[in-house]
Structures are given as structure tokens and as C-alpha cells.
A and B are shown apart, each in its own frame.
Chain A
Amino acid sequence: MSLKVIQPGLSTSIQDLGRPGYFHLGIPIGGAMDRFALRVANMLVGNPEGAAGLEVVFMGPTLTFEKDVLVAVTGADLPPKVDGVVQDGWAAFEVKAGQTLSFDFLKSGARAYIAISGGIDTPPALGSRSTYPIGALGGIEGRNIQAGDVIPLGEADMIEPGLSVPANLRRLPGKPAELRVLPGLYWHRLTPAAQEGFFADDWAVALEADRMGYRFKGGKPLEFVAREQPFGAGADPSNIVDGCYSYGSIQVPGGLEPIVLHRDAVSGGGYFTLGAIISADMDLIGQLQPHTPVNFRKVDMAEALAARAERKTLLAAVRAHLG
């Protein structure tokens, strides 16, 4: 049982919920950038929430199927079509053997998730099917999908099509997007004026925005507290002795353009980090297109945990709704 890739789209990769446990060797967790969207897509077609699906960036693929399957598309508003007939997003629909699944133009968001009943059944690498191209791990030969690929699917107990998730149980960033930040790590390296400016300034997503990290521009350069650089750190005031990076941590090389590390993060390096995006807002970053206006909002740990609890409540509500 398999699907065939007719057109791959712009950058379509096989992703599940990732491979924790190897970051100490430089192999990141990976997995869907918008984990909530992948979980919901899987639920809609009767898969376990962590089954592997396709992460689509900006432009959808064209796929055909060997057997009848259920499909759901969540995340970005990228309307799916079956033999040219538009289907609802955030809902399960049937694609029969021989029919073609394709996509209309992107209306909002940046990444759509395609779940297929049975899930994608490529061989796992280090416990995950997620594609990590830098390390040539997961997916198909460690790369994004390409035309002509035949992708194996798991066995599925077909459930009825027609399940859907109402708008109030979906989650997409607002405009301007707000990303909440817990200051920490090397926050003390910034002057009070720079600390204030980072949160006060208007930023926008830069063109360099991918699974490894999202770059932002538009704010004022950040000034550092003057010091004699510690031995081994390097001469630039934004340099530190190479250390670990947190997922979601915000580095600002040279104090110029903040970069938020995401699921395919480099595990360490020599740039100071001013804190990290809270876990509750990581999914949102994957839905930001270049040029999207963004504001960073300062929160404390209590607010970060409350936001995390809110996300769990939303996921529980989706589970309850889909029974």
C-alpha cells in the first residue's frame, strides 16, 4: 500500500513528532514545526497522533493513491482538491484509488499537514520517520520528497469520513503575530535600553526562515553591556564560549537580526541568546510567512506555564470533540 508523488511541491517532508534523545550529539528533535496541526490531522483520519504525515511549505504536492484512503489537511489554509474538487481543511475526506490529491494556492499560514489513514510507513531512523536533511536521517533517504517517489503507507482501519474541527478549536497566529518570550540564558549581556527595545520594536519575518530557524528583521540593533570578552569566546560582544542552544532560543549575531531556533535547531554554538520563545508558541512560528509583522512579548515563568496549560486544554477539547 503506497502513495505516489506526481509533483513534490516546494519543500515537502515526511514528519512525525520527532526524535528526542540525541541533541547532545547535535541531532535535533525535528518533527512537525506545528505539532498541534499534525496531531489534529492524524486524529481526523483515525491515526495515532504521532503518526508520520507530510509537512507542506507554501505550495502543495500532487499525489495519487494505490488504495482508498482517508485524508485530512490542517495547519495553513491550503485548500486540498480531489480530482480538482475543493475539499474542506481541518476535515477528513476520502480519496479513492487512482484519484489525484492536489492543492489550491495558499491563503494563510505557511505549513499545512497532510495525514493519511494508516500513516506514512517509511523506515524510522533513531526512532522517528522525521526528515532531517542535514544529517541525511529519516524520510526517504534523509531528504524531502521528490517526483516519482513511492511512499509506503501503514495498514489502516478505515473510519468514516466527515469528522471536522470547528474554527474555535484551530490555532493560527494573529496579525501582527505575537510571540511570547521568557527572558533568560544570556539576557544579562544586553543593556537595559536594548532589553526594552527588543520588546518595544516592530519586527518582521525575514526570508531566511526554515525548519532550523526563523530570522527576524526591522528592529533596532541591540547594544551589549561592555566587558572584556572571556577567554575562548571570540572578540565580538555577541560571542560566548560555545554552549548549548535551547529549542526556541533567540540568538542575535552581532546584535542585528534575531534568529529563533526551531525543530531542526543546531544544538550549540558561540552566539549569546537572550531567552527563548515559550513552548506554547513554538507551533505558531511554523505558520509565519516571510514579511509577517511580529511582536515579541515578555512573559514570566508563571505565564509561560499557564499558556502551556491552555494549549493542553485546547488539544483535550479537540480529542473530546472528535470522540
Chain B
Amino acid sequence: MKTRYTYGGDEHIYVEMDDEMSLDAFFKSLSMSNAVRDAKIKGVTEICPANASFQVRFDPDVISPDEMMKKVKELEHRAEDAEKRLKTRIIEIPVYYQDPWTHETLMRFRERHQDPSGTDLDYAARINGFDSVEAFIEAHHSQPWFVSMVGFVAGLPFLYQLVEREKQLQVPKYLRPRTDTPKLTVGYGGCFSCIYSVRGAGGYQMFGVTPMPIFDPEQKQSYLSDFMVFFKPGDIVKWKPIDRAEYDRILAEVEADTYVPRIAEVDFDLDAFNADMPGTNAKLMEALNVA
């Protein structure tokens, strides 16, 4: 892992911890972006952590780019020394896989896909070596996920699965991005899952849909009362497969503003996870089961 520093025009510094994805790179990026935030450097206007990189936006009229770069670089040792532990939460997100709405959309944009003859899930299952779509869906929801970035559009989480690299699912993005994606689509691109927080353009493969809103400027749901965006980096997610009946039941609760997602407070320790992945994940899911 070698840190790379560069400028994005005269108002941004971009720091890439590693060019490939790993939880180590994520933790280092999160620690270092936190160190930059804690340093309260005059002239910094935004700090955006991402999967394996982060970006600092600054006002060059207040602090020169050279000076800003120097200050950011000085904080790298803090990231290296930082504890790779997080006090966080695990959230159960219901997913209706193979739903009719993403199906309609993926059929509409079939000519932009690598394999127009099947569905996105057919394709993803095949190229990842699964015998059936059901087995692929099982692999997608059986182990938890880590929110490694929030962004693209308002409140959209990127999620990285908490499994060994050889078990990571990987799919390419659409050949050409769609101009439409249903709101709350559960998508997949590269090694990342995501939830499309709003309807709009998108290039990720579409696997299903959740009835649970994750972005709402009106903040009608109780779990959005603090802020209109639900996710933050470091959140842990467990997908729960649901059928149409349960989807409709949850949606009715959402529409009545009474839906309460299942959430448990947990600690996540990267070293403990790396030493025992199944054991760590079992504990995380256990916390959810008693919540």
C-alpha cells in the first residue's frame, strides 16, 4: 500500500491510499480523513472519505495549495498509528431480489448490457461461477457488508462484503450507463454493492429493491429524524431476503411512517476480523438477532 497525493484543480487535494480495494486501505483512509478533520486546518471546506481514498476541498485564498498539501501529508503517520476499531452499528436491510420493477428496467436497457439474453442476476451468477441465481443471491446476503463510502448521489452507500478476497463477488458495470434506475435499487459494480437512494442514471447491475427509504429531505421516517441521509461510512449491513408479501407489508409501514429497521450497536475491530472472519461475522449477526 503506497499513498499517492495529487491535486484536483486548485481547490482539492486527493489522497489515494491504495489503487486496489481492501478494508486496510479503507480504514487508513477513514483514519487519515478524520485526522484532517480533527486538525481543523483553516481554509478546509469539505472532507470526503471514499473507499480507498479521500478528498479535501479547500479555499486557496485562505491557505496555499503547497501549504495545504504539506499539512495533509504530515498527518499520514497518524493514520498509520490509528487503531483499526470502530464503534458502529449493524443494520438489517430487507431486499426483494428479482423484483418486477428492476426487472422491467433492466429489460428496457438490455442493449447496454454485456449479455442481453438474460437478466443482470443471470449474468452475475454465471461469471462468478455459481450454478444458479439462487446460490448467487445466497452468497450476496449470507455474510454482512461494510459501508465504505457514501456518495455519487444523495446518501447512496457503497458496500464492501466482509469476506476473503477470493470469495468477493465481482461484476462489471453496464457497457453504457442506464438513464434510469428505480429508487432503492440494490445494485452491484466492481466489488461493491450499493443502494440507489434516489431514482436516476446508473451503471451498476440491478439485483433487487429495498422498501426502506435511505434518503428523505422531509425526514418523515423516525430513523431519518436526525438527518435526511441514513448511512455513514463504517456502518455494517446485513441484507435480509424478503418476498413480495413482506415487501408490501414493510412498504405499508413506511407509508404510515411507522417502519423501524432492526439495528444493533456493535464494535468492529479490523485485526480481529482479519484473524477470524466467520467468527467475527457470526458475532455481528448475533447482535442483530437479539436487537
Q: Of residues 261 to 275 in B, which have CB atoms within 8 Å of A's CB atoms? A: none
A151 contacts partner chain B, Cβ-Cβ < 8 Å = no
Task: Give complex CA distance A267, B155 in Å.
Answer: 10
Task: Give complex CA distance A187, B6 in Å.
Answer: 10
Task: Give complex CA distance A305, B152 in Å.
Answer: 28
Report chain A residues within 8 Å CB of B45: 20-21
A20 and B14 contact, CB distance less than 8 A: no
- Count residues of A near B (Cβ-Cβ below 8 Å): 52
B21 contacts partner chain A, Cβ-Cβ < 8 Å = yes
A246 and B9 contact, CB distance less than 8 A: yes
A276 and B50 contact, CB distance less than 8 A: no
Binds B, one of A24-32, A63-71, A159-167: A24-32
A230 contacts partner chain B, Cβ-Cβ < 8 Å = yes
Task: Give complex CA distance A50, B151 in Å.
Answer: 26
Task: Give complex CA distance A32, B144 in Å.
Answer: 42
Report chain A residues within 8 Å CB of B177: 253
A25 and B151 contact, CB distance less than 8 A: yes
A134 and B51 contact, CB distance less than 8 A: no
Task: Give complex CA distance A21, B14 in Å.
Answer: 17
A184 contacts partner chain B, Cβ-Cβ < 8 Å = yes
A243 and B53 contact, CB distance less than 8 A: yes
B172 contacts partner chain A, Cβ-Cβ < 8 Å = yes
Q: Which residue in chain A gives the minimum CB-CB distance to B4?
A: A188
Q: Which residue in chain A gives the minimum CB-CB distance to B148?
A: A242
Report chain A residues within 8 Å CB of B65: 301, 305
Task: Give complex CA distance A246, B7 in Å.
Answer: 9
Q: Which residue in chain A gives the minimum CB-CB distance to B152?
A: A266
Report chain B residues within 8 Å CB of A221: none
Task: Give complex CA distance A321, B8 in Å.
Answer: 34
Q: Of residues 1 to 16 in B, which have CB atoms within 8 Å of A's CB atoms? A: 6-12, 14, 16
Q: A225-249 CB contact bits vs B (8 Å, 1 = yes)?
A: 0000011111110011111111111
Report chain A residues within 8 Å CB of B50: 242-244, 268
Contacts known (A134-B198, A182-B7, A233-B20); A266 close to B153, Cβ less than 8 A: yes
B8 and A268 contact, CB distance less than 8 A: no
Binds A, one of B54-62, B96-104, B134-142: B54-62
Q: B141-161 CB contact bits vs A (8 Å, 1 = yes)?
A: 000000001111111101010
B7 and A137 contact, CB distance less than 8 A: no
B217 and A305 contact, CB distance less than 8 A: no
B52 contacts partner chain A, Cβ-Cβ < 8 Å = yes
Nearest 3 A-B pairs (CB), nearest first?
A: A246-B8, A232-B21, A276-B9
Known: A125-B217, A234-B189, A270-B190. 13 other contacts (CB 8 A): A134-B153, A134-B198, A185-B14, A187-B6, A230-B18, A232-B160, A236-B173, A239-B173, A241-B21, A243-B55, A244-B55, A266-B152, A277-B9
Residue contacts A-B, CB under 8 angstroms, 17 given:
A20-B57, A26-B151, A125-B217, A134-B153, A142-B217, A184-B14, A187-B6, A230-B19, A232-B168, A233-B190, A236-B173, A241-B20, A241-B190, A248-B9, A267-B153, A276-B7, A279-B9
